[in-house]
């Protein structure tokens, strides 16, 4: 059995980032994934500029479009558009984006094994993982970056109690209509009790999808079909249609012990306003690598990772949650006045663009309006 300094399960943004940072620091890292890359991941592929900024290499080669306009509708009506004047997010196809991150991990020296589904985990002083094909490897530290279902995290007894919601994505060959959305993302509101549908433009396809709370997950396909029809794309060929969970860490759920930690979706690090998670996957991957290196050099204990996530990531997720409660709560109670106010006050969307570009944070924006957490708490029922 081969020995490593660390094993990373899952080669999405969280796992590839952890592996790259560890390998770049000289650690012997094994990165495994059950898939063969490039692989599809159900995702809108929206990469805010703040996410790009976390990466120490350019992602231009995988950018399909960059958006500066946000069109907002409520059930297809009450439309308004805000233009941020310059791009606030890039659009990527996840198979190409994730393959780039994985390539960079390999260049840094991480060893990658594809088609390796971890089925067993043993703790024997170190941590030993065994895959379905009998392959087995051992290391003092294990990083579970195995996505929102996190089967390996569950084997380690971590993260099982993190709440979740669901999202569904279809990639539509919209022909010349793809060009109508160049530079623009469309958000459709009005789903109960909360949620939104989106259109994100790519070079050849439109990513169309919806995110809804777990109780409404059964409505996702029907809602996306109705939305697609309303956009005049009912008969457009669909390349792929798939759903996936999104996990939302809200409290101090356990995401690390002495030798194992969860990163990215496995740890529930997605924000409740936009439901985006790639930023936090990369951020937590970096924090994970730092903690593994610290533990390897010191007392061999990873539990400081949870403290670091609570300090560096959770304030932002909590602030996004406050904004989400306020935003969706207002929308539920007074849709027409709230859409009117949203269309005619610059503050909300300017703040959103600033956060997307990395010029501000949700936490800073919430702190600017001290009464917001109180208002949000009153809006919380139904979410």
Ligand X SMILES: Cc1cc2nc3c(=O)[nH]c(=O)nc-3n(C[C@H](O)[C@H](O)[C@H](O)COP(=O)(O)OP(=O)(O)OC[C@H]3O[C@@H](n4cnc5c(N)ncnc54)[C@H](O)[C@@H]3O)c2cc1C
| Binding status of residue 162 toward ligand X by CB under 6 A | no
Q: Find the binder of ligand X among 20, 41, 82, 321 (CB under 6 A).
A: 41
Q: At what angle do helices 13-24 and 278-297 cross, to 10 degrees?
A: 30
Q: Any contact of residue 278 with ligand X (CB under 6 A)?
A: yes
Q: How far is the CB of 94 from ligand X (least distance, A)?
A: 7
**Closer CB to ligand X, 30 or 322, in the complex:** 30
Residue of the chain from 152, 248, 289, 320 that contacts ligand X (CB under 6 A): 152
The three-point CA angle 376-279-85 to 5° equals 80
Q: Are 120 and 154 in contact (CB under 8 A)?
A: no
In the complex, what is the shortest distance from the CB of residue 149 to ligand X, in angstroms, rounded to a whole number?
7
Whole-angstrom distance, CA of residue 309 vs CA of residue 61:
31
CB of 211 to ligand X, least distance (A): 7
d(CA 32, CA 15): 9
Which residues, other chains included, contact 262 with Cβ-Cβ below 8 Å and sequence gap of 6+? 144, 145, 150, 153, 158, 159, 255, 256
My answer on whether omega of the bond before 38 falls inside 30° of 0, hence cis, is yes
Taking CB under 6 A as the rule, does residue 324 contact ligand X?
no
> Could you tell me where the beta strands, DSSP code E, fall in the chain?
2-3, 6-9, 29-32, 46-48, 63-67, 69-74, 77-83, 89-92, 111-113, 118-124, 126-131, 136-139, 141-144, 164-172, 184-189, 196-201, 206-212, 238-247, 260-262
Sketch the per residue contact string, 234 through 263, with ligand X: x for CB under 6 A, - otherwise: ----------x-x-----------------
Minimum CB separation of residue 119 from ligand X in Å reads 7
Q: How far is the CB of 297 from ligand X (least distance, A)?
A: 26
- Choose the binding region for ligand X from 19-27, 33-41, 338-346, 374-382 (rule: CB under 6 A): 33-41
DSSP label of 256: B
**What does DSSP assign to residue 248?**
-
Q: Which two tokens stand for residue 183?
A: 């530079």
Q: Which is nearer to ligand X, 117 or 373 (CB)?
A: 117
Query: Which one among 13, 87, 153, 195 touches ligand X, defined by CB under 6 A?
Result: 13
Number of chain positions touching ligand X (CB under 6 A): 40
Residue 147 contacts ligand X per CB under 6 A = yes
- CA torsion, ordered 196, 250, 164, 377, to nearest 10 deg: -50
38 binds ligand X (CB under 6 A): no
Classify the phi-psi angles of 263: left when phi > 0, otherwise alpha if psi is within -120 to 50, otherwise beta: beta
Report if residue 32 touches ligand X, rule: CB under 6 A. yes
Q: Figure out which of the listed residues 167, 197, 199, 355 binds ligand X, where binding follows CB under 6 A.
A: 167
Both tokens of 22, joined, read 């560890």
Residue 66, SS3 per DSSP: strand
Residue by residue, DSSP assigns 329-366 as HHHHH-HHHHHHHHHH-HHHHHHHHHHHHTSS-HHHHH
Shortest Cβ 306–ligand X spacing (Å)? 16
Tell which one of 21, 64, 272, 276 touches ligand X (CB under 6 A). Answer: 276
In the set 4, 7, 8, 15, which binds ligand X (CB under 6 A)?
15
146 binds ligand X (CB under 6 A): yes
The token pair that represents 105 in the structure block: 């991990």
* List 4, 30, 31, 33, residue binding ligand X (CB under 6 A): 33
Q: Which of 20, 31, 44, 349 binds ligand X (CB under 6 A)?
A: 44
| Phi and psi torsions of 214, nearest 5° | -55, -35
Binding mask 193-232 for ligand X (x = CB under 6 A): ----------------x-----------------------
Choosing from 14, 233, 313, 331, the residue that interacts with ligand X (CB under 6 A) is 14
Cis, bond preceding 224 (omega within 30 deg of 0): no
Q: Per-residue string for binding with ligand X, 93-132, x by CB under 6 A? A: -----------------------xxx--------------
CB of 375 to ligand X, least distance (A): 27
Write out the residues near ligand X by the rule CB under 6 A. 9-15, 32-35, 41-46, 116-118, 145-147, 151-152, 167-169, 209, 244, 246, 264-266, 270, 276-279, 281
């Amino acid at each position: 059995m081969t020995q490593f300094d660390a094993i990373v399960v899952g080669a999405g943004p969280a796992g590839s980032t952890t592996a790259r940072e560890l390998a770049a620091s000289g650690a012997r890292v094994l990165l495994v994934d059950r898939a063969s890359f490039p692989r599809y991941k159900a995702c809108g592929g929206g990469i805010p500029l703040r996410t790009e900024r976390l990466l120490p290499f350019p992602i231009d080669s995988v950018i399909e479009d960059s958006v500066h306009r946000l069109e907002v509708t409520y059930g297809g009506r009450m439309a308004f558009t805000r233009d941020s004047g310059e791009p606030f997010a890039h659009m990527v196809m996840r198979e190409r984006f994730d393959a780039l991150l994985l390539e960079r991990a390999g260049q840094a020296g991480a060893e990658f094994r594809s088609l390796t589904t971890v089925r067993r985990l043993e703790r024997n002083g170190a941590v030993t993982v065994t895959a379905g094909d009998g392959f087995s490897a051992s290391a003092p530290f294990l990083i579970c970056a195995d996505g929102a279902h996190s089967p390996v995290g569950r084997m380690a007894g971590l993260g099982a109690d993190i709440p979740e919601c669901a999202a569904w994505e279809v990639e539509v060959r919209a022909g010349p209509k793809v060009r109508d959305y160049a530079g623009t993302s469309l958000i459709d509101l009005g789903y109960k009790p909360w949620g939104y549908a989106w259109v994100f433009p790519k070079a050849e396809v439109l990513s169309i999808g919806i995110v809804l709370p777990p109780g409404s997950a059964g409505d996702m396909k029907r809602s996306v079909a109705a939305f697609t029809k309303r956009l005049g794309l009912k008969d457009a060929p669909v390349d792929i249609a798939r759903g996936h969970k999104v996990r939302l860490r809200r409290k101090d759920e356990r995401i690390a012990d002495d030798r194992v930690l969860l990163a990215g979706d496995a740890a529930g690090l997605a924000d409740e306003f936009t439901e985006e998670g790639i930023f936090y996957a990369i951020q937590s991957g970096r924090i994970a690598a730092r903690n593994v290196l610290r533990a390897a050099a010191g007392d061999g204990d990873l539990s400081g990772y949870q403290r670091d996530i609570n300090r560096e990531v959770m304030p932002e997720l909590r602030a996004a949650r406050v904004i989400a409660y306020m935003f969706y709560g207002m929308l539920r109670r007074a849709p027409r006045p709230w859409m009117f106010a949203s269309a005619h006050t610059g503050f909300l969307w300017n703040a959103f663009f600033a956060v997307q570009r990395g010029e501000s944070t949700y936490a800073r924006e919430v702190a600017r309006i001290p009464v917001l957490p109180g208002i949000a708490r009153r809006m919380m029922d139904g979410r």
